[in-house]
Amino acid sequence: MRNVTITLDEEVAKWARVEAAKHDTSVSRMLGELLAEKMREENIYQAAMSRFLNRKAYPLRRPGASLPKREELYDRKVLR
């Protein structure tokens, strides 16, 4: 464990003390758990992003096929 000093606005510090007391813990432990959870979420996000970016690209259309015209894309009964 490592000790870290932080500076909080008085209103935030008061709220944190009350919240920590409600959960029968210290502000220090509450912040440590909050930061650990944030780190886990960030690691999960980064792993998912890495998996997505490392996937093999696949073509959205056949090679040589022309792109649809704007009128073909937006000529729908719903849009009339």
Put simply, whether the predicted model's pTM sits higher than 0.75 gets the answer no
Domain that holds residue 66: 10-79
DSSP string, 5-71: -----HHHHHHHHHHHHHTTS-HHHHHHHHHHHHHHHHHHHHHHHHHHHTSPP--SS-TTPPPPPHH
pLDDT score of 75: 74
For the chain, the domain total comes to 1
Report the pLDDT averaged over residues 58-80. 79
With respect to residue 20, please indicate whether it lies within any of the assigned structural domains.
Answer: yes
21: pLDDT strictly greater than 90: yes
Per the domain annotation, does 1 fall within a domain?
no
Confidence band (pLDDT; 50, 70, 90) for 22? very high
**Residue 58 located in a structural domain:** yes
> Is residue 2 included in any domain, yes or no?
no
- Residue 25: is its pLDDT beyond 90? yes
pLDDT tens for residues 51-64? 999 999 888 888 88
